Copies of this chain bind each other. A is one copy, B any other.
Amino acid sequence: FHAASPSSSPTPAYDAWCGVAHGCTRKLGMKICGFLQKNNSLDEKNRIASSFRDRQTPKNQLSCENSDREARYRRTETDFSNLFARDLLPAKNGEEPTMQFLLEVMDILTNYVRKTFDRSTKVLDFHHPHQLLEGMEGFNLELSDQPESLEQILVDCRDTLKYGVRTGHPRFFNQLSSGLDIIGLAGEWLTSTANTNMFTYEIAPVFVLMEQLTLKKMREMIGRMLKPLRGAISNMYSVMVARYKYFPEVKTKGMSAAPRLVLFTSEHIRKKRLVIITSLFFFSSQSHYSITKAGAALGFGKENVILLSTDERGRVIPADLEAKIISVKQKGYHPLFVNATAGTTVYGAFDPINEIADICEKYNLWLHVDGAWGGGLLMSRQHRHKLNGVERANSVTWNPHKMMGVPLQCSAILVREKGILQGCNSMCAGYLFQPDKQYDVTYDTGDKAIQCGRHVDIFKFWLMWKAKGTTGFEEHIDRCLELSEYLYNKIKDREGYEMVFEGQPQHTNVCFWYIPPGLRDMPPGDERRERLHKVAPKIKAMMMESGTTMVGYQPQGNKVNFFRMVVSNHAVTRSDIDFLIDEIERLGNDL
């Protein structure tokens, strides 16, 4: 565009046209064209393509058919070293270089996808920050005033993937979110290409409706108890909704209008996290705030976040909650909000929601269920009982990007009471939301959200649901839990392993220490603890250096560093579990 004159013709030139006009000769082509443009014969399509550069389209007879001018581009030998961004569309004659450039990018990406699933490739090719900053074989991260050629841009794309981490690799176990779902990936590419925003029906009609229908299905999974939040409800912090519910005057007058408010969450504060939502239902940012952070941010203060005791499996003890509520009330404070976690980050524990809900009802507290990690189990008839009571929650968080394999990011919040989010957030922004539009403006969701603009995170999830069906998600969940059971059974009595907590894990989280031979006969005590604490970091560092696999570790309370294995990647097989164990033993044997 840099070369284009502001007064250039409105009709771009098509001299560079060299796409191959492609009739509906293939089965898919036929079918798709059948939907979109029923009467267009192959001949007519060819005529359209060949006469295209001369075409003058009369006003108001514009094309909106996808099959019009449909063309398949063939890759040609293109010299990108003399091409620059300014030569791409909307530049004059920009169509051909644009198509060739995008095909080249696509080639880089599909090769990366193939290798992601290939166990003969590394999970990562580790380099220290200073090494990458110094420039690896011509990979220069610095930005300059002058443009780089498209050839260099393509090289940079390859290098970016080369020095990154293959989070979809079957042996990447480092995070709750792992795996590369092909349908989800296609959904993300399409979303990027559509490049729109969720705030009004006007500019995202299809996505707004997809979100509505998908939320309806999720609500059904939760148990038909949570009301649908239509397009009309907003992105919200569950803590804020709770505050608004009981003390609406805070919205206007600030926190001084309320008594001292108290929030409750587990003492496992590092694993028990309150998910605060930064956009309507599907939001782009993972937004894991610990409840302490939420308390600080929203003006409650860290002191007013009370930690609840947990059992040895990391589950909140309901009696402790009740005792603390009573104690807080005796001090004259107002207990407001309880966070129950369905699937903690480290132990994968599910709090007893029904018992907690009984207490919340008795004392009139808001119950939030953080199902960011565990919500996916609602799709499984075999495992959903672990969330029993979730239908009683005032609000539920559920991140399909974690256990359900949806690409990052995709998270939802559902709130039971209809209208409360809207009451909490609506402010009206006249430049976005005009009541005098010609369509039903209740589909304009933006004004009812705290945050006005929202990335389109729904499409990939909707497309995956279409492609897999509910049964496909169920099979995925069941399979991941089976693999985790396989790991648990394999190591629970194996020499050199100690489990961090006893019994079958509730989620796919398996937490364990590997005890190198040299430590196995040491008596318990500080020296053994100190040495054991260093084992997992050392093994992890060697794993990363060799690039063979990645798994997380951390300390927890008085427990020294242990491995936390999780499975959410659909590419994982028992052989990968076996590989991990072999690799830990290979690397840790001499420690």
A39 within 8 A of partner (CB): no
Q: How far is the CB of A148 from chain B (nearest CB, A)?
A: 5
User: Is B79's CB under 8 angstroms from A156's CB?
Assistant: no
A residues 13-51 in Cβ contact with B at 8 Å:
26-28, 31-32, 35-36
Can you offer 23 A-B residue contacts whose CB atoms are under 8 A? A1-B479, A1-B570, A7-B574, A26-B78, A66-B112, A69-B111, A71-B114, A98-B113, A113-B193, A129-B201, A153-B466, A188-B192, A202-B550, A250-B299, A252-B301, A255-B299, A276-B451, A286-B454, A287-B452, A290-B427, A298-B298, A436-B537, A437-B537
Q: Which of A151, A237, A270, A299 has the most CB of B within 10 A?
A: A299
Contact with B along A284-310 (1 / 0, CB 8 A): 111111101101111111111000000
How far apart sit A99 and B537, CA to CA, in the bound complex (Å)?
Answer: 38
Q: Which residues of B contact A451 (CB under 8 A)?
A: 276, 278, 285-289
A581 within 8 A of partner (CB): no
A383 within 8 A of partner (CB): no
A591 within 8 A of partner (CB): no
How far apart sit A567 and B167, CA to CA, in the bound complex (Å)?
Answer: 39
User: Is B78's CB under 8 angstroms from A75's CB?
Assistant: no
Contact with B along A86-117 (1 / 0, CB 8 A): 10111000110011011111111111111101
Q: How far is the CB of A486 from chain B (nearest CB, A)?
A: 7
A residues 217-256 in Cβ contact with B at 8 Å:
217, 237, 240, 250-256
A133-141, A412-420, A498-506: which lies at the interface? A133-141
A359 within 8 A of partner (CB): no
Q: Which of A133, A452, A486 has the most CB of B within 10 A?
A: A452
Q: How far is the CB of A262 from chain B (nearest CB, A)?
A: 10
How far apart sit A453 and B36, CA to CA, in the bound complex (Å)?
Answer: 41
Q: Which residues of B contact A293 (CB under 8 A)?
A: 425, 427, 450
The answer, among B197, B203, B346, for a CB contact under 8 Å with A286, is B197
A350-358, A363-371, A468-476, A518-526: which lies at the interface? A468-476
Q: Which residues of B contact A154 (CB under 8 A)?
A: 28, 32
